[in-house]
Structure 1
Amino acid sequence: MGRVLVTLVALLLLEISQPGSATGSHDVASAVCWTQWFNRDDPSGSGDWETLADLCREYPGEVCHNPLQIQIKTVSGGSMDSTGDRIHAADTTTGLVCKNTEQERGLCSDYMVRFQCPDSFCIDREFTCWTTWFNRDDPSGLGDWETVTDLCRENPGQICQDPIEIQVKTTSGASMDSTGDVIFVANTNSGFVCRNADQESGTCEDYTVRFKCPISFCVNNDAICWTPWFNRDDPNGSGDWETLTELKKQNLGKICDSPLQIEVQTTSGDSMDSTGDTIDVADVHTGFVCKNSEQTSGKCQDYEVRFQCPNSYCITTESTCWTNWFNRDDPSGTGDWETFEELSDENRGKICSSPFEIQVQTTSGLSVASTGDTIYAANARIGFVCKNSDQTSGKCQDYTVRFRCPDSFCPDTGPNCWTHWFDRDDPSGNGDSEMLADLRREHPGQICDSPLQIQVKTTSGDSMESTGDRIDVADATSGFACENADQDSGKCQDYTVRFQCPNSFCTTASSNCWSKWFDRDDPGGTGDWETLTELRKEKPGEICTNPLGIQVKTVSGNSMESTGDTIDV
């Protein structure tokens, strides 16, 4: 009876699960994933033991600790129930156990298993990766010291700033637990230390370690790059302050948004550690600070810093392009699922196979951050997912996405072009605001929808960098802004900007034209309705199919903005 019950349970499970290929798979919509197939044992001994405990120990990080389901088949692909074996255990707690002594023929079949894992494990695997294994020391001295500090110093750029997890094994591949060694420390803050003095045998095993890091560190790690060295301050004041905030303001576009590593040295090239200075902070979040008041000598050395940046920053805009915006889903169901896999299937040839970056905005043009939505996933590997169940309001906004691709994929093979220079503001008020939204409104049809780059200079022709002004923003998405309140002098320079546009805009801009002015309605009724639909009906052939821009003024010639009217659309 026991055998029949186990067989029925396994049969039901296998029918419901519908096993697929022999490789791990991921189901974004249901937020679960399957591991690869495992076959750690065969029945040549006491039976076939594919236990969860053994698999977790031998395949660290490859199996979740609380699987949702188990799938079992023979190595030849047959179902478990077809073998006629009496199965001792087959569940998500134990794994699979088949004992030879319980079989009529005295031998189990050879089985393999895989597990379905929950949302938390799927996300972890999507957004993290492992470094290579490191083995910087052996126990021939005081023990085996694989500390994070030493490993980072000896392997710059190969370990992330804040590892998520550490794995340890012997150089022969045995698990740390199996050695019986007394381990002094093994965590992501310190790394690993085994001291010979703590061991009964008098010596530790030889260990190797690796670290789990965020996906931003892992993706195309061979394409990471370093910024130039920066030295914005010297210790003549209160110390040397090379903070990331100030460096970004003074070196716009030269430091990525989320640096992976920081390197610090003196201006004479000596390492930070060799100076003996007490360092207040040196990390990728703040930058570098050395305070004179904390030094025995009363003064810090003069330092310079540089930052390591990810692939998406290393690949410059000159060698990449953006796809069109895609909007395959809306939040009327379980949420908004703009996944890379589905978008690629539905838009064949329109998205490169390995995008560098993803951009997301609402269909009305708002940034993701401004919506307040809790985002489930947003990266170039997965795409974008917002789940209604994660939102306080119960529903996501409707989003659209695009991807940055290599230059070889870009459809516009011709040269890019630059707009003319714009100077809509001067610093006589709060500062100089040359924002893209304002420029588009005041110069309809003269700036492309998605500029590739921005250039900024003063009206006298000096470069933005040479002015010393602290710039609030200067990018192709927002435009340019300099606030007087941020300046030591109390006032910004007067700036002018221009934008680089793709070939598709360049080839049409020179041949654009404006229709005549239309006035089909007046406010004598419910308001003034100059809708495109009605204008086309009443003026057939006088308006193109896809207008590039619209201009609005009063019949007396005043600008729309000057009237103070609230405009519906």
Structure 2
Amino acid sequence: MKAQVVTILFASLLVATHQESSVYPGCWTQWFDRDNPSGNGDFENLAIQREQTPGKICDNPLDIEVRTVTGGSMASTGDIFTAADTITGFVCENNKQTQTKMCSDYEVRYLCPVEFCYPKGCWTEWFDRDDPSGTGDWETLTDIIKEKPGKICENPLYLEAQTTSGKSVESTGDVISVASPSSGLVCENKNQKDGSCEDYQVRFYCPDEFCMIKSCWTEWYDRDNPSGTGDWETLEDLYLKHPGEICEYPLEIDVLTTSGGSVASTGDTIAISDTSTGFVCKNADQNGHLCEDYKVRFRCPEEFCESKGCWTEWFDRDNPSGKGDWENLELLLQENPGKICEYPLQIEVQTTSGNSVASTGNVITASDPNTGFICENSKQPAGKRCEDFKVRFFCPEDFCKSVVDPNGGQQNDQFCKYYKVCYSSSGGSYIETLNNPPCP
């Protein structure tokens, strides 16, 4: 009796059992039997089969499986085969068989990528929530959903798993306890010969209704190059250099070399690639060579992409002649009452001459909607001080729509904290500043 094979579809660590199948991502087509051996042989050509059954076979099959129409294996027939691959299909020619024997009658099917099987769906980002330092590596769906709310569908169709260095599960030789889209992946140290699992990462293939969540991609960023310790495209640094351009909680990260090549094509060992930290490739982790130069972008939720609201005017409350340039939100609120919302959604920063923060080369202390912007002279390279910056904030729609109308219109809460409207006997009106007035 043949041992059953747990098929780890590496694009889906999908637990399915069947015989004589290869370990590849995706799903099998139906069985096809377009020819019989009564003529020159059995020609189950892939190109002809595509013409006869349009849309039923993917453009680039990952594997082919062949059997007789009665269910027998190829080996059991003793036939000599001309071709059996994912480019040609299957061919058995009668004139190549021994004695006067004809080919048996065969049928074929093809393994197609998961995107062909479920065209209306999408992959999540990679998740690595655990490492094997304890009892093993527990990349369970339940835990990941709790730790990454909104980033995984509740009922994934497929699971893909690999080591954090990009190797296949099969290549590790680890005994995997659990591997399914509904449970995730579990590798227990106690089940391994050497007493320790590899460190794994997983991702899930979700149905279309989950993927249709509206979102947008940022532009590409390349803030570092590998000439030093490596290529560090971290979110923390990118937030400082590109304030307001990246959402606080990205849904996905996309990474390419600056020339447009995939990460996999470089052969680099990647230290970090996630939506919490960003991307890190360390030269020390490579085998005698430097990391490639990478660029990154992030997918952000709809509320960031299409935030309903408005930008404030530009503010420049400080200059760098003292300790630095302090465009704090707290001070700006005090000095510009009613002109900035208390809880901005985004911040935009540039020099007073209109140049980007990145172009200055300044080391930035803070740049976010909650704090505002801070550049300290003491943190700049020797002999250099901060540029003079200006900031503006993106405020929610309810702030933007609440306008001051002395003749009876709305007045927003922020405005009412600092002003009151007074009316003269002639029917005119004027605005008077108050220290701490109650809102009318």
The higher-RCO structure (CA 8 Å, 6+ apart) is: 2
Query: Larger % of helix: which?
Result: 1
TM-score scaled by structure 2? 0.40
What TM-score results when the alignment is normalised by the length of structure 1? 0.33
